[in-house]
Amino acid sequence: MTGAQLRDDFWNRRRVLVTGAYGFLAGHLIEALVDIGAEVVGMVRDRPARSYLQLSGLDEQITLAAGDITSLSDCLRVVNDHECTVVFHLAAQAIVGAANRSPLPTFANNIMGTCNILEACRQLNATERSHLVDCVVVASSDKAYGDQPTLPYTEAAPLLGLHPYDASKSCADLLARSYHKTYGLTVSVTRCGNLYGPGDLNMSRIVPDTIRALLADQAPIIRSDGSPKRDYLYVKDAAQGYLLLAQQTVVGNAAGQAYNIGTGRPVTVLELVSTIVQASGKTHLQPEIQATSWGEIIHQYLDCTRANTELGWTPQYRLEEALSETYEWYRSYLASDVDTQCDPK
């Protein structure tokens, strides 16, 4: 990649823990870690029927550790047993609609799960063992900002998440930085935009849902009125941002800080879907706008100046290029798996 470089001497043979290893972003982060020579431990609770980690064969290249982030004893066991010096905490309940329907599991996973990972690392570092956790990178979200009066969001904006998912990320974000401030734990926080790319198997999300519809020769459905603006970030760019942040948290001055990771370019839902339609070549299939979504912020996008200047990170993929690559991945994946095909309307 251009810009700041990942250091081989930092990552080669470094033991790294990734929580939520079967998740979408986690799969790509693990892929990048394996490529750079890290020794990866993936903390997992349940084995899903499919995941990017499994589809890419990465689960056979790392160590899998069973554990539930809502259990402090599980977190203590995994952190102590595997002697990882960098921890990426990605495990979460990440679906906004599911959070609205069932807030308590979302709070348990996103708030207490984060607290348990941080506490396990704090307790380990308080011992006299030679193995210490050098840094923890906690995945927050642009949703932690809530609905702000000023756009784009900078890291100085207050965290005002009020809907269940947004509030859970606001809390996790504050918890992470409190462990740095109070206990000196070397923690940093990412606030990413909306991720998309190969391997997102939550087919209710807008990018895979749109692609699946197009591949079935159906009109894509937009649940909003098409006007909400978001910062859509390619998952491969996000993975590089995580690696650079962890590196700078240990060798630079990123500890205790939060970083926006996004493109800084607002894109409406209708523009996103239209770009996917163009990539598919099926321009006769126009989106069906339902305008039925609720419990989501209308406009959200990020100012990523801090990540650009302090981490040397910039996204490397254009939206059109990344969506075209994503479309081709799903075309191959869906063609090989009839269980994921669209039901007829």
* Neighbouring C-beta atoms of residue 265, cutoff 10 Å: 18
219-242 per-position pLDDT tens digit = 999 999 999 999 999 999 999 999
Residue 218 in domain? no
Domain containing 117: what range?
Answer: 8-193+233-262+303-316
Residue 290 in domain? no
pLDDT grade, residue 215 (50/70/90)?
Answer: very high
Residue written as token pair 């470094």: 14
* Neighbouring C-beta atoms of residue 130, cutoff 10 Å: 6
Q: How many independent structural domains does the chain possess? A: 1
Q: Mark whether 179 is an active-site residue.
A: no
Residue 146 in domain? yes
Structural contact between residues 290 and 221, judged by C-beta atoms closer than 8 angstroms: yes
Residue 340 in domain? no
Residue 122 in domain? yes
pLDDT grade, residue 292 (50/70/90)?
Answer: confident
Q: Is the dihedral of CA 139, 156, 241, 9 positive or negative?
A: negative
Residue 2 in domain? no
pLDDT grade, residue 218 (50/70/90)?
Answer: very high
Residue 113 in domain? yes
The one catalytic residue among 22, 165, 179, 333? 165
* Neighbouring C-beta atoms of residue 173, cutoff 10 Å: 23
Residue 242 in domain? yes
CATH number of the domain bearing residue 178: 3.40.50.720
- Note the pLDDT of residue 337: 66
pTM across the whole model: 0.94
Pairing of strands 39-44, 63-66: parallel
Cα dist from 332 to 161, 205, 329, whole Å: 38, 18, 5
- Note the pLDDT of residue 54: 97
